Amino acid sequence: MYDFVVVGAGPAGSRFARRVTEAGYDVVVFEQGTVGTPLACSGHVSTDIWSFVPDDARDRLWQNEIRGARFHTGGPESGSHAFYKDSVVSNVIDRVELDRTLADAAERAGAEIRENHTVTGLEETRDCVTVTVRGPNGIEHHRGRIVAGCDGPNSRVRQEVGLQDPDELLHGVLGFDDKPDHDEFVDVHLTVPEFFAWRIPRGDAGVEYGLAMAPSEDVTERFESFTAGYGVETDRRCSGLIPIGPPEQTHSGRVFLLGDAAGQNKPFTGGGILYGMTAADIAAAYIDPENPQTLAAYEDAWRAELKRDIELGHLIRGGYSLPESIQETGMSLFEGKIGVHMDRPTSLFSREQLRAMISGFK
């Protein structure tokens, strides 16, 4: 019997596995594919990322430094409003390498990581959860005191235990141009219904173009016309889902959800790497596998940490659907230097942001 069975070796699952293994628990992680693949993420993260990875990983992961964003209400040819800091706001990192680094750290701590093992079923009983897994040698059954569903936006674990799905699943598409670009600004185009399209300079790794929107037939068509506006043809296309939530409840008797499975991301960007790992640390601190009642404490604690930022994130996303004239006026008023933390919209009300605004009005 394992103390924890973790489903999914993305950032949330690997971080959680590392922390609970370090605390002395027996942990196995089942990953349906190979860690880090297929890629479906921009890897654009705040500098907080460095507190979650070993120091020696920085050189492998780092691709570019970002100081701000240019917002456009139109395509590439349109004017823009720049929001920036004097210091680095965020980094662009190699997302595949991030997942490998986090899984390696969990493995080094003592967790068993089993790639090519897909969890296909769960049965909760009073004393444990029996997990059905399809691996290279056929069907296996394993028992765990607690199961962590870290299996992403389309979570099988969530379905199996009957927890509610997130309100929406957006469809994100990415494509790459190999030409190196060391610009310190990302471009954001509010030209997509209820979300946006983006251009991210990735240093020597080239440029990434992407967009996300409600799944519909014209996602590809819109992506083509967006990149054509920039005069580029992208390759290495990939796509993934972005949950917008979170659902009302993220735990059952002996099972809990973490990361995208729990809708722990920013509704105004879809970014979930740091929220998922923040919640993983909270889960590791609160959940005692001998006492399933502690799952409720995890639920309260992660909401206390992230709820207000997620709520404000929903409000910000609402701004993407405002008429263009209002977006232009709003951005003209607030453009310039900012003090806000990219993962924490509540820092809009911080002293640093106030100072940045006042200096802009001088």
Ligand X SMILES: Cc1cc2nc3c(=O)[nH]c(=O)nc-3n(C[C@H](O)[C@H](O)[C@H](O)COP(=O)(O)OP(=O)(O)OC[C@H]3O[C@@H](n4cnc5c(N)ncnc54)[C@H](O)[C@@H]3O)c2cc1C
Beta carbon of residue 269, minimum distance to ligand X (angstroms, whole number) = 7
| Gap between the terminal Cα atoms of the chain | 65
Rg for the chain, CA atoms, rounded: 21
**Burial class of 38 by CB neighbour count within 10 A (0 to 12, 13 to 18, 19+):** exposed
Minimal distance, residue 219 CB to ligand X, in Å: 11
The whole-angstrom separation of Cα 46 and Cα 129 is 36
Min separation Cβ 273 and ligand X, Å: 3
Q: Which is nearer to ligand X, 112 or 328 (CB)?
A: 112
Write down the least CB distance from residue 229 to ligand X, Å.
19
Give the nearest distance from C-beta 117 to ligand X in angstroms. 6
**Shortest Cβ 45–ligand X spacing (Å):** 5
Give the Cα separation of 67 and 186 in Å (integer): 9
Report the residue number, 61 or 273, with the smaller CB distance to ligand X: 273
Q: Please, which residue, 41 or 356, has the CB nearer to ligand X? A: 41
- Contact positions vs ligand X (CB under 6 A): 7-13, 30-33, 40-45, 118-119, 150-152, 156, 172, 174, 210, 240-242, 259-261, 265, 270-274, 276
Q: Give min distance, CB of 361 to ligand X, in A.
A: 32
**Residue 276 C-beta: closest distance to ligand X, Å:** 4
HSE (side-chain half, CA atoms, 13 Å) at 59: 1
Q: Which is nearer to ligand X, 255 or 356 (CB)?
A: 255
Least CB distance from residue 5 to ligand X, whole Å? 10
